């Protein structure tokens, strides 16, 4: 018996699946802070149309992480095991560059240099990206990305397994969200950058996309 995997069709699905090669978690098509708040370590939520929707945060000791969007806030918290939210901070997992999935090629189409006040020369490099496969994705960063992630902790994994059903019940029964149990996710880390970035997803061969990188 043969089983064929269906390729993702929505742009957010194509983008995240094709950038798995970065090994930095789920790439969000809409990484901007959602109306439920900016993604934080310890968040419990789900991904909807490429954005992460926060339900609540497990760290009740940090009021700034509390989710205030939902009319019925989650209250049935179990105490976290000690020291499970210890963070491993990395200053720059991704540097300003273009990151292409397999099957996407890049080529320079224009380079220009402009004088800047007291700083010498600022160069702008324009690139064209061509997808030669069935699908592909590109992320272009013009500033550094910063990373925070929890150390892997077996006690935290046990905690998640024990309480996951309860979190799903809250999303489905208390809030009425059309989610499946496997949709409920715990944020154990994030990679964030500033607003100067670009992204695209390809869903057919010979597609093209242009973007610019500026540096000094």
Residue 36's pLDDT is what? 98
Question: Of the given ranges (110-114, 118-122, 126-130, 150-154), which has the lowest mean pLDDT?
Answer: 118-122
Asked, for residue 174, whether it belongs to a domain, the answer is yes
Q: Is the pLDDT of residue 90 over 90?
A: no
pLDDT in tens, 54-83: 999 999 999 999 999 999 999 989 999 999
58, 200 in Cβ contact below 8 A?
no
**Binning pLDDT at 50, 70 and 90, where does residue 121 land?**
very low
In the DSSP assignment, the letter for residue 6 is P
pLDDT-based confidence at 208, cuts 50/70/90?
low
Average pLDDT over residues 167-182: 98
Examine residue 98 and state whether it is found in any structural domain, yes or no: yes
Confidence of residue 2 (pLDDT cuts 50, 70, 90): very low
Tokens of 32: 């901007």
Give the domain range for residue 107: 11-73+81-215
Cα separation of 149 and 114, whole Å? 39
153 falls within a domain? yes
Tell me the pLDDT of the chain averaged across its residues.
84
Number of domains in the chain: 1
The reply to whether 6 falls in a domain is no
**pLDDT above 70 as % of the chain:** 82
Ramachandran region of residue 194, left (φ > 0), alpha (ψ -120 to 50) or beta?
Answer: beta
3 state DSSP class of 116? strand
Give the model's confidence band at 123: pLDDT under 50 very low, under 70 low, under 90 confident, else very high.
Answer: very low
Token pair recorded at residue 13: 């699905």
pTM over 0.85: no
The answer to whether residue 1 is domain-embedded is no
**pLDDT score recorded for residue 209:** 59
Mean pLDDT confidence for 113-136: 61
Residue 15 domain flag: yes
CB atoms within 10 A of CB 158: 12
Residue 3 lies in a domain: no
Q: Please report the pLDDT score of residue 169 as a whole number.
A: 98
Is the per-residue pLDDT at 122 higher than 60?
Answer: no
The reply to whether 68 falls in a domain is: yes
């Amino acid at each position: 018996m043969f089983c064929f995997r269906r390729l993702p069709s929505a742009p957010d699905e194509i983008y995240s699946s094709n950038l798995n090669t970065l090994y930095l978690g789920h790439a969000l098509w809409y990484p901007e802070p959602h109306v439920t708040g900016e993604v934080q370590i310890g968040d419990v939520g789900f991904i909807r149309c490429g954005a992460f929707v926060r339900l609540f945060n497990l760290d009740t000791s940090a009021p700034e992480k509390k989710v205030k969007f939902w009319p019925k806030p989650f209250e049935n918290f179990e105490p976290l095991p000690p020291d499970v939210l210890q963070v491993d901070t990395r200053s720059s997992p991704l540097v300003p560059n273009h990151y292409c999935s397999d099957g996407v090629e890049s080529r320079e189409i224009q380079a220009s240099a402009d004088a800047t006040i007291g700083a010498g020369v600022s160069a702008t490099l324009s690139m064209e990206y061509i997808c030669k496969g069935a699908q592909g994705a590109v992320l272009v960063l013009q500033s550094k990305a910063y990373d925070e992630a929890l150390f892997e902790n077996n006690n935290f994994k046990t905690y998640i397994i024990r309480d996951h059903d309860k979190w799903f019940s809250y999303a489905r029964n208390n809030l009425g969200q059309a989610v499946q149990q496997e949709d409920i996710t715990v944020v154990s880390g994030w990679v964030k950058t500033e607003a100067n970035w670009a992204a695209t997803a390809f869903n057919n061969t010979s597609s093209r996309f242009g973007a610019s990188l500026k540096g000094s």
